[in-house]
Each structure stands twice: as structure tokens, then as C-alpha cells.
Amino acid sequence: MPTILTFPLSPTEAAALPPYPGRALHALFYQWLALGDYALSTRVHDDDGPRPFTVAPLHRANGQPMLRLTLLDDALWPALAAGIALTPTVEVLGRLLTLPKEGPRLEHCTYADLANAARAETRLNLRFISPTSFRSREMHYPLPDPVLVFQSWLNRWNEFAPEEQQINVAVLDLVAAHVAVSYYNGRTEMVDFGGNKRVVGFVGAVQYHILRPALIGETWLRALNTLADYAPFCGTGHKTAQGMGQTLRT
């Protein structure tokens, strides 16, 4: 079950952190998971497949700094919740952060609910709120290419959704033939992961236009919309478990 967890933070404590503490938040997730179930944490860490979680850069909502992460596999929730309950304060890059006593705010939706609620819209508006990039031929590709974007969402959906909710990979052929960028207002940003490791990604607003929708049919249109609705949970592209690729459907 895709789940969004948000933790309101003290403004004073959060002010000392850099804008993209992604690797530290990545480590915090595994710390929480290990406190709840060490063997499970090890299995998740060593798995070569898509990461079953994302973390976001620290951001503000109505002036309140927030720590946000998402969980794509609800089988991890009991161990993660146990770990969170054991850490009223956490250390991120040498700074102590006090977590809310009541735990994180939760927003979740089943894969079936996402699929059933999907519309058949032909214009999909997305905002990429942290730098987004793709790995292509051993390079980082910082552009909102429709096939790469939808492939990223599809890979995560089919990795974690129940078998009866899987989406046929033929949807990517439809993306290649029928999905175009009709609007793009963005820029590139550099993310510094430390140790001379920097990644360039794009941020900004993108509209994807589904061309000749009558040739696709409503079933496939709803599949494309399902993936776009999934984006706020799964992120987009490379290093979503370290703060990149955070995405909103607008």
C-alpha cells in the first residue's frame, strides 16, 4: 500500500540542515527499519530491485519544516513503525531533530484504489520538486523524456503492486507513440551527495499531452493516468531513495 509519511520539525533544528540531506535521510530509513527488524532491513538494503521507499529534501508547508518519506511496500510498515517509535529524536548530519510524539502523519492509498480512481485525462500536469535524472548509457540524463518518466513509474508499480493490478509493459509503446511534452518550464539543479559525487537533475513543471486518444481507448488512458497518480508516492528516475525525483501531480 503506497504511504506518505510526514514529520513536522522544529524550525530551529531544521534550519541548520542543508537543502538536500538525501543520503543522511536514506540512512535514517534503514536505521528505523533495522530497529524494527534487522534481518528485514538487511534484505531490503541488499535487494537489487527498485527501492521500496523514497525520501524528500526538507521542505516547508505553510512555513512549517517537514521531513517526508514514502513507503511503497506495506509489508515494511510494522518494522518501520516500531523503529520510529523507538526514536523520539534522530541525528541527521550531526544535528538532532525532535520528532512529533504522536508519530508521523500518514496518507495512504491501496494500489487497487489508485487504479480504480484513475481518470481518462489527456493532459497530465506534473511538478518535479527535487532534481530528477535518469541513468542512460552510464550517464545522467536530466530531461523529462516521456518514455523514461513513464518507464520509471511503471517499473516501481509492477515491482510492488499486487499481481492483479500489474500494468502491461506495452503501455510504454503507447507512450512512445502518443505522449508528447506540450509544456515545460524548468531548469537544472546540482545535487551534492558529498565525496565528489554530484548529480544534475531537472526541476519544474511539465505537461504531457496524450495525442490521438481515440486510438488508445479509455482502458489505456486510465493506465497512463494511474501511473501519473502514483508518481507522488514512487518518485521519478534515479536516486529517489536519496531525495531526488520527488514528483507531484498538479
User: What is the residue-wise DSSP string for 146-180?
Assistant: HHHHHHHHHHHHHHHS-GGG---TTHHHHHHHHEE
Domains identified in the chain and CATH numbers = 3-108 (3.30.70.1890), 111-249 (3.30.70.1900)
Q: Which three cell numbers stand for residue 168?
A: 502491461
pLDDT class of 131 with cuts at 50, 70, 90: very high
Is-contact 86 190, C-beta < 8 A?
Answer: no
How large a percentage of the chain has pLDDT more than 90?
A: 63
> pLDDT tens-digit profile of 195-226?
678 888 999 999 999 999 999 999 999 999 99
| Average confidence (pLDDT) over 3-23 | 83
Q: What is the mean pLDDT of residues 23-38?
A: 91
Question: What is the tens place of the pLDDT at every residue in 168-203?
Answer: 999 999 999 999 999 999 999 888 777 678 888 999
Please state, rounded to an integer, the average pLDDT across all residues of the chain.
90
Quick one: average pLDDT of 85-110? 86
Backbone angles phi, psi at 139, to 5 degrees: -130, 165
Q: What is the predicted pLDDT for the residue at 191? A: 83
Percent residues over pLDDT 70 in the chain: 100
Calculate mean pLDDT across residues 133-138.
82
- DSSP states of 191-209: EE-STT-EEEEEEEEEEEE
